[in-house]
Amino acid sequence: MSSFKALVATKGETGPNLAFTDFAEADLMEGDVTVRVTHSTVNYKDGLAITGKAPVIRRWPMIPGIDFSGRVETSSHPDFKPGDLVILDGWGTGETHLGAYAQKSRVNGDWLVPLPAGMTPADAMAIGTAGYTAMLCVLALEKHGLKPAHGPVVVTGAAGGVGSVAIALLAKAGWHVIASTGRAEEADYLKGLGASEIIDRNELSNPGKPLAKERWIAGVDAVGSHTLANLLAMTRYGGAVAACGLAQGMDLPASVAPFILRGVSLLGVDSVMCPKPRRLEAWARLAADLDRDKLGAMTSTIPLESVIETGQAIVEGKVRGRVVVEVG
């Protein structure tokens, strides 16, 4: 097709102006692989881009969408040939490089990973960047030497995309999972994913003490700000928190007390520029470790036309789990 359907964002005075339009293939950006996009997803970061609540988009006009799965149409990259099924997460897609909410994308082949055996493109986007980031957090805790026998793990933003996948992965690995959420009505959903305890996010979201009672040995945090500060203050001696998000804020109003008095570690987790070997490890582990029934239980599916309203809803905390976007 010489043109294809895409969601295009142009810069407005109060936020992005969004419109579905026919986009010319000739206007795609440089890259050595062209992919026929079949599926994408709506991550929290996508919601920030769509609503303009954070400066995610840094090039205008832009096709939003930070991740996709699909089939290679053309390639001059040595690792990929036409017909290959691939996944893309990050690398500035939807920020500085035309993104996923379109039927085609042309990208650098080094950004792609092959779809793992036994996984469908829809499965890959049910996981999406949120689930892949959750796996990176689990890997970070494992590489730090932490095990279920050492104590419980807390997951913040538990009903969101990162939180939902993290709970499923950690529970399957044998962890006692404490899920922190502001949505009490999601308790059954979270327990179904494997959470052993549910706590109200208000226990963590307000200013706290520099050092508090030890409650867990590990944490996965997608929230930041006071929540992350309290997680650190309540982490047991020698424990660690993997931090990957900023839903509450980018600030960290904490003290050095947990680090120098309890030997606690803060593990930063980046999914955008993550090196390819670690990406491949994460996707291989997701294919092997993530329960597909639990993945299905946390996933809903929408057409491309519903991306705008879903992006607004995810920022407002009204989206549970994962959302697959059927692009094709």
Per-residue pLDDT tens over the stretch 86-130: 999 999 999 999 999 999 999 999 999 999 999 999 999 999 999
Whether the per-residue pLDDT at 263 is higher than 80: the answer is yes
Q: What is the 3-state secondary structure (H, E, C) of 79-122?
A: CCCCCCEEEEECCCECCCECCCCECEEEECHHHEEECCCCCCHH
Whether the per-residue pLDDT at 165 is higher than 60: the answer is yes
Residues carrying CATH 3.90.180.10, the chain: 3-115+298-326
Supply the CATH classification number for the domain 3-115+298-326.
3.90.180.10
Neighbours of 2 (CB within 10 A): 7
CB 268 within 8 A of CB 232: no
Q: What percent of the chain has pLDDT over 70?
A: 100
CB-based contacts of 276, cutoff 8 Å, min separation 6: 110, 113
Quick one: DSSP state of residue 158?
T
Question: Mean of the per-residue pLDDT values for the chain?
Answer: 97
Task: Tell me where in the chain the CATH 3.40.50.720 domain(s) lie.
Answer: 129-268
| Structural tokens at position 114 | 């092959």
CATH number of this structure's domain 129-268: 3.40.50.720
Tracing tokens 């039927």 back to the chain, one arrives at 103
Residue 327 has a pLDDT of: 96
Tell me how far apart the alpha carbons of residues 321 and 43 are, in angstroms, rounded to a whole number.
10
pLDDT band at 65 (very low <50, low <70, confident <90, very high): very high
7-16: pLDDT as tens digits: 999 999 888 9
Are 67 and 31 within 8 A, CB to CB? no
Cβ atoms 115, 16 nearer than 8 A: no
What CA–CA distance (Å, rounded) separates 299 from 272?
Answer: 23
How many angstroms separate the CA atoms of 113 and 174, rounded?
28
- Closest C-alpha to 71, from 92, 94, 96, 88: 88
pLDDT of residue 1: 52
Mean pLDDT over residues 318-325, rounded? 96
Residue 137: HSE in the Cβ half-sphere, 13 Å Cα cutoff: 31
CA distance to 31, 81, 105, per residue, from 78 (Å): 13, 8, 18
pLDDT the model gives residue 227: 98
pLDDT at 47: 97
| pLDDT tens, position by position, 194-226 | 999 999 999 999 999 999 999 999 999 999 999
Structure tokens at 63: 């096709």
